[in-house]
Amino acid sequence: MSTIPRTRRAVLLGTLAALALGATACGSSGGDPLGGGAGSTVVVGSANFPENVLLGSIYSQALKAKGVKVQEKFNIGSREVLYGQLQSGSLTVLPEYNGALLAYLDAKSTAVSKEDVNAALAKTLPASLAVLDSSPAEDKDSLSVTQETADKFGLKTVSDLAAKAGELTIGGPPEFESRREQQFKDVYGLTFKEWKPTGDTTANALKDGTVQVGNVFTTDPKIVQLKLVPLADPKNVFGAQNVTPLVNKAGVDATATAALNAVSAKLDTAGLTALMKRVAVDKEDPSAVAKDWLKANGLG
């Protein structure tokens, strides 16, 4: 039996355990040159609207399927909140829309195509952040109206709104006015009667007449369900908005990068619209919808 007093023995054992833990940590610090060494946790975030939560769940489950440790932080808020959290490292991965992200970072950018937008982002993003492969899936902002409003005012394009905007109320997410009001004035000469924050209820607000023009995303199944009319945008206020993973480079390794790029390779607009019908109209759980899609595409 040991003659070391109990208190000294406990201290000695604690010290040895700490040294062993430190050695293990040092031994695993090499990792991938992109960062996010083996055993690190990737934190997947999302904005506070259903499609982004669905995409966050797709990313999360795709990463887990490749053995990546994941923490989910969904429904956080708008880009203004999320971007800062990604920069700080509180979040590692976000489902983004490349054109909308570029407009947030550089309101004067004239890039329109997916390739030009991503090239501009590569120059604009800080060195700590990067966009991975963009998917073919594109969820563009639109200015939409009801069929009745389109017929009444002869509306086919955003340009057609110029003569009538002063009589019309426009709705959208709470941040929509600050992001786009000046742009609509500068590009299309639009000055609306009133701006109302309608968020996820914009499509319904159009139908019930609360607003006459609304910022409805083009993959929203309510466009078809409520017979809304997205107006053409000939001057490209809304550029390419391909679903694209935005990452903090220190938190993702080659395995995580490959898993996210594999999702992008399979995700298209028609598929995303069908998934969103299940989430927004049929009220299915986004996590279950994501799981089905990943399994069907050999990624789950």
Query: Under CATH, which number does the domain 41-139+240-296 receive?
Result: 3.40.190.10
Let me know if the fold of 41-139+240-296 is the same as that of 143-230. Answer: yes
SS3 labels along the chain: CCCCCHHHHHHHHHHHHHHHHHHHHHHCCCCCCCCCCCCCEEEEEEECCHHHHHHHHHHHHHHHHCCCEEEEEEEEECHHHHHHHHHHCCCCEEEEEHHHHHHHHCCCCCCCCHHHHHHHHHHHCCCCEEECCCCCCECCCCEEEEHHHHHHHCCCEHHHHCCCHHHCEEEECCCHHHHHHHHHHHHHCCCCCEEEECHHHHHHHHHHCCCCEEECCCCCCHHHHCCEEECECCCCCCCCCEEEEEEEHHHCCHHHHHHHHHHHHHCCHHHHHHHHHHHHHCCCCHHHHHHHHHHHCCCC
CA dihedral 289, 290, 295, 300 (to 10 degrees): -150
| pLDDT value of position 37 | 44
What integer pLDDT is reported at residue 15 of this predicted model? 40
Per-block mean pLDDT, blocks of 10 residues, the chain (300 long): 40 40 34 46 96 97 98 96 96 96 91 94 97 95 96 97 96 92 95 95 96 94 91 90 97 98 95 93 96 97
CB 173 within 8 A of CB 199: yes
What separation, in Å, do the N-terminal and C-terminal C-alpha atoms of the chain show? 54
pLDDT score recorded for residue 39: 57
Give domain limits for the chain. 41-139+240-296, 143-230
Residues 6+ apart with CB under 8 A from 287: 57, 61
| Angle separating helix axes 114-124 and 98-105, nearest 10 degrees | 40
Return the CATH number of 143-230, one of 3.30.70.330, 3.40.190.120, 3.40.50.720, 3.30.420.40.
Answer: 3.40.190.120
